[in-house]
Amino acid sequence: MVERANRPSALSATPGLAPQPQVTFSDDNSSVRAVLPTGESVTVLLHGATITSWTDASGSEKLWLSSSAHLDGSKPVRGGIPLVFPVFGTAPDHAQTASLAQHGFARSSRWEFLGKSTSESASGDGAADLSAKLDFGLSAAGLSEEAKGKWSFAFNLIYSVTLNRGSLTTSLVVTNDDEKAWDCQVLLHTYLRVKDINEVEVHGLDGAQYVDKVDGAKTKSQSGAVKITGETDRVYTPVANGPVTVAEGGKKTFTVTRDNLSNVVVWNPWTDKAAGMGDFSPKDGFKNMLCIEPGSVSGWQSLEPGDAYEGAQTITYHS
């Protein structure tokens, strides 16, 4: 055998792919969880396609979830990000949705997991930023018999949850699969976690008209930042499609950007309202949450047969 002076050395390890996002089901197949290699995670309950957790790389939770929230499918989830469709609140004067329960049926129906996808982009420091996208679907065939009896139109919903380093994007595509037109409203009912509601200010709504549901649905105009000092339930129509930011103690903590969603609901139940809700706990939990809810709820989206409507939000957190 002839010895080769410059023969290649053996490889110490077989090269492989860089770490990828991991997507797993819970043991009972009730939820789906995505985790990025850097540690960020999101958990989506198939009941309502409700996001129940969103954490940063250190495991710090960004959403507020009631400790007595129903996660077994028996009731809509109190906290996280529930979906509102096809009606916001109740609409007794709107014939198509008059008989539906509060906030419609999307948040109380079991959705189908349609699949996952990942993407990679170069970040400013030369590293690769990975993201994970989870898709969920709901159609008329997936509704309960009770819901079908109250809203008999054919439809298709595709809900996408995209986890990035530092942000979370949720988008909903609504398609009319019926032979006749129907109306709908859409809202992303986001419960953000805060440290102390008394230190919170909401910026980006200055000059916006809003309906004050705590004060007889009077129409008012916002002046300056929004501060939460009592029960708050307002439907804002911002003058521009700019971002809404949440600051705590003067430091920006969240930025919410909207795509094709003309309204922003700001909600906090405060003391008495929280005390009266059986699934809201701890009862002083209102001190640690604020709902910033992008939606299209001041009027109706009217979809002709075959038409589609899409709305989305991106929430970015600031460390």
pLDDT at 128: 61
> Using 50, 70 and 90 to split pLDDT, how confident is the model at 122?
low
180 burial class (0-12, 13-18, 19+ CB within 10 angstroms)? exposed
Tokens of residue 42, six digits:
């999101």
Residue-range domain boundaries for the chain:
24-195+257-317
Q: Is residue 103 flagged as an active site residue?
A: no
Question: Mind listing the pLDDT tens digit for each residue in 254-288?
Answer: 999 999 999 999 999 999 999 999 999 999 999 99
Instruction: Please state the rounded mean pLDDT for residues 112-131.
Output: 75
Are 204 and 266 in contact by the 8 Å Cβ rule? The answer is: no
Instruction: Decide: helix, strand or coil at residue 288.
Output: helix
pLDDT at 76: 96
Are 137 and 111 in contact by the 8 Å Cβ rule? The answer is: yes
Beta-bridged to residue 85, according to DSSP, are 104
Q: Could you tell me which residues come within 8 angstroms of residue 19 by beta carbon, excluding any fewer than 6 positions away?
A: 37
Catalytic residue among 40, 47, 103, 189: 189
pLDDT at 6: 54
pLDDT at 15: 58
Query: CA–CA distance from 116 to each of 51, 112, 134, 199, 304 (Å)?
Result: 15, 12, 5, 38, 30
Question: Mind listing the pLDDT tens digit for each residue in 40-52?
Answer: 999 999 999 999 9
pLDDT at 16: 62
| Least confident window among 111-125, 147-161, 291-305 | 111-125
33 is in an annotated binding site: no
Q: Is residue 146 flagged as an active site residue?
A: no
112 burial class (0-12, 13-18, 19+ CB within 10 angstroms)? middle
Instruction: Decide: helix, strand or coil at residue 108.
Output: helix
Question: Mind listing the pLDDT tens digit for each residue in 162-171?
Answer: 999 999 999 9
Catalytic residue among 293, 304, 310, 318: 293
Are 83 and 172 in contact by the 8 Å Cβ rule? The answer is: yes
Residue 220, amino acid: K
The pTM score is 0.92
The CATH number of 24-195+257-317 is: 2.70.98.10
193 is in an annotated binding site: no
pLDDT at 19: 87
78 is in an annotated binding site: yes
Instruction: Please state the rounded mean pLDDT for residues 191-214.
Output: 98
